[in-house]
Chain A
Amino acid sequence: MKLETVDSLSSLDRAGARLLTWGVLLSALCIIAGLCVWLTAAGDWRAIALLNAGLMMLMATPILRLCVAVGQFAQARDWLFLLTTLAVLAVLVTTLILAAHEP
C-alpha cells in the first residue's frame, strides 16, 4: 500500500484541475471582451462590468478548489487532513469577515 499516500487523492484531482481550467478560461473570456470594449470606449460601464465579472470569477476559483480538496480527503477517508482543509477554509472566511468590517 505504498502508493496509497499519494495516489488515493487523485480521483477527484482531475475534477479540481477541470474547475481551475474552466475558472481561468471563463474569466479570461470576460477580460478579453472587457478590454476590447475598453480600448474602443475607455471608461464605458459595459467594459468595467465585463472586467469585474472576469476578476470576480478569478478570485472565486482557488476558494472553490479548496472545496474540491475537502472532497478529495473525504474520498481518501483522511479525516485529519479533511479537518485541516476545513480549518483553512474557516481561517479564510474569518480573514474576509474581519477585513470587511475594517474601517
Chain B
Amino acid sequence: MDITSLSYLLFVAVSLLIYWAVPHKFQWLVLLADSIIFYFSIAKAYTIVYLLISVLTTFFAGNYFEKEVSQAKKKAALVVTLVINLGILAVLKYTNLLLGTIDYFSPSNVGRVSWYASLGISFYTLQLIAYLLDTYWGTSNAEKNPVKLFLFASFFPQMISGPISKYNQLSHQLFEEHRFDYVRVTYGLRRIAWGIAKKVIVADRLSGVVAYLFNDPDTFSGLWVLFAGLCFIVNLYFDFSGCMDIVIGVAKCFGIELVENFKAPFLVTTIQEFWRRWHITLGEWLKIYVMYPILSTKAFNRLAKKCKEKFGKAGKKMPSYIAMLIVWLLIGLWHGNSWKYVLGEGLGFWFIIFIGQIGEPVFDKMKAFLHINDKSFGWKCFQIVRTIFLYSMVMIFFRADDLPSGLYMIGKFFSKTHIMGPFRELFAATWGEFGGKWAFMAVAIMGILHIYVDINVASDRCVQDKLVKLPLVLRWVLYLAFLFLIIFEGAFGKSSFIYFGF
C-alpha cells in the first residue's frame, strides 16, 4: 500500500470513521488493527515474528528493570536485550555487507542472502532501544501491556519511515481519548495534500534526471557533478519531507502529534546546523542514546584528562571528536548495507565538521584579514550556499551505486566542465520523462511555495494559520487549484519513498 495512493487514503478515511465512532477505550485497538492490516498489506507475513521478538524482549526487560534492585542484574538484562534487538537488525540488514566485504578482500564467491527484514526495522528498533534505555535509566515507566508496546513500535503512519518517536512523547497520545476535532483534522488533511504534492510533483519528476546524471559521470563531469548532487538532495528532501508531511498529517487526523523531522534545513549556515534540522529525530536519538553515553564512560573521561594534559586546551575537545566520529559512522551504517554510507556519507560529514571546528581560529583570522562582516546578509548567503555545496558533494556517496562510484564522481568534479553538449544530451534524454514544460512549471510553483513555507517554518510561524484566515471562497479556490495541480502534473505510481528502503 503506497502512502500516496488513493487506496491508502481510503484506508485512512475508513479507519478514521471507525476511530471516531468507537468508545474511547477501544480507540487504541482500532489503531492496532490498522497497524496490523498495514503491516500485512506490505510486508512478508512471517517477518512480523522479528518485530514480536523485539517487542517482547523489550517489554520483559523494561518491567524487569522496575522490579529488580541489583544494578549488575539490570545491566546484564540490558545487555542481553540490546544484543537480541541489535542482533536481529544486524543479521537481517548487514549480512550482505559482511559477505560482500569478505568477497572483496578474498574473492571466494560466498554469495549473498535474500532474507526479508520486518517492515520499518531500522525505525522501530531505535524506538524500542530508546524505550529500553529510558526504563533502564528510570526516566520512563515500563509499559504493563505488551500489546500497547507493540502498537508503540508499529503505529502504522510512522512505522516505515519514522519520525523516530520516544515512548514518553507518543504513548499517552496513542491511548488517550480523541474526539473529532474539525481544526485538527483539516490541518492534517492539508498537510497530507502538501506531502503528496512534494512527492509526486517534485521528487518523482526529479528522480529520472538524477538517475541520468549519476549514470554517466564521464559526460556530466566538472560542475555537472555538483549539479547532480544538488538535484539529488532536492529530490531526497522533497521525497523524505513529503513522506513526513503525509505521516504527520495522518497521525494528526487521529489526534496524535508526532515530532517534526525537518525544520527548513536549506536555510542554515553550517553543516552541524543542517543536520540539526534534517532527519531531526535520528540525530536526536544518536545524541541521547549514543553520543552522551559514550562521552560519559570512564574510558572517555580518562581520555579527556590525558588529552588535556598533553595538548592543553585544544586537546579537551578530542574525545568529543571521537564520539562524533562514532555517531557519524553509525548514521552511515543505519542508512544501509553499503560502505558508501559508512565511509562516504558518515566519514565525509564528520570530516567537514571536524575541519570546521579545528580550523575555526584560522578561519576567524582569515575573516579579519579580509574585513568580512560576519553579521552581513552577504556573508550569511555565502554560508548558506557553502553549506548546500558541501552537503550536495557528500550526498553524492549516498546516491552513487557504491563507494568506488562515489569516489569516481567526486574525482570527476575536478575535471573540465562542458556545458552545452551534456545539457543537450540531458535535455533530450530526460525532458520527455520529466513531463515537459507544464511539469517544469509545476515544479517551479512547488519550489516557490516551498521556499515560502520554509521561511515561515524557520521562524516558527505556521503557514496553515495564515491560510485559514483567508476568505472562504478564496481558500477553496486555492485548495482546488492545488489539488488539480497535483492531479494534472503529479507523476503517479512512479517510485516508492527513498527512506522506505532503510
Partners in one complex: no
